């Protein structure tokens, strides 16, 4: 994995989106970062339906940063849906949410999240966190291979 691996952020709160985007910049993380605003948009992006059909413009992500509390379709729904998509099995999902409710933590893991992090409150720690996440999941952790799914 390298700087080319795409990251998809599913987050409805504008402030949090900007915080993460700025943290990526400050952390010098060059990976393409795309943002969707709710669970349905996340699903649309991952399935490549309009307006995300052009995979040159909207590449399939290697990492999904997923908020839980989103309108229309929430993070849990996205996780449930992902389990029905074998071709998306290699996608790593890091739940990134403000919820610290232990029941949400358990539920997220049970639904197949790879990891669960609580959003930091300030910029410095958000930078540290996005660096940790990209280092761990895109550079160090060994990823599944989409082309080999089903073998």
Determine the interface stretch with another protein among 54-62, 63-71, 72-80, 138-146 (rule: CB under 8 A): 138-146
Alpha carbon separation from 83 to 8, 62, 78 (Å, rounded): 17, 16, 9
The burial class, CB within 10 Å (0-12 / 13-18 / 19+), for 53 is exposed
**What is the smallest separation between the CB atom of 130 and another protein, expressed in angstroms?**
10
**What is the smallest separation between the CB atom of 50 and another protein, expressed in angstroms?**
29
Is residue 116 part of the contact set for another protein (CB under 8 A)? yes
Q: Of residues 37, 57, 115, 138, which one binds another protein by CB under 8 A?
A: 115
CB 83 within 8 A of CB 112: yes
Residue 40 has φ and ψ, to the nearest 5°, of -65, -40
Is residue 30 part of the contact set for another protein (CB under 8 A)? no
Determine the interface stretch with another protein among 10-18, 49-57, 60-68, 109-117 (rule: CB under 8 A): 109-117
**Where along the sequence are the contacts to another protein (CB under 8 A)?**
86, 89-90, 100-102, 105-106, 108-110, 112, 114-118, 120-122, 124-125, 127-129, 131-132, 135-136, 139-145, 148-149, 151
């Amino acid at each position: 994995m390298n700087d080319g691996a795409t990251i998809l952020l599913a987050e409805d709160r504008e402030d949090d989106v900007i915080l993460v985007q700025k943290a990526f910049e400050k952390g010098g993380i060059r990976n393409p970062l795309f943002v969707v605003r709710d669970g349905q948009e996340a699903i649309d992006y991952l399935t490549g339906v309009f307006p995300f059909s052009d995979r040159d413009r909207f590449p399939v992500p290697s990492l999904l940063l997923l908020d839980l509390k989103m309108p229309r379709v929430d993070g849990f729904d996205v996780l449930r849906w992902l389990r029905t998509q074998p071709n998306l099995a290699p996608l790593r999902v890091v739940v990134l949410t403000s919820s610290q409710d232990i029941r949400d933590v358990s539920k997220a893991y049970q639904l197949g999240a790879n990891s669960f992090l609580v959003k930091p409150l300030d910029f410095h720690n958000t930078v540290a966190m996005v660096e940790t996440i990209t280092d761990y999941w895109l550079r160090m952790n060994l990823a599944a291979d989409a082309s080999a799914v089903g073998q």
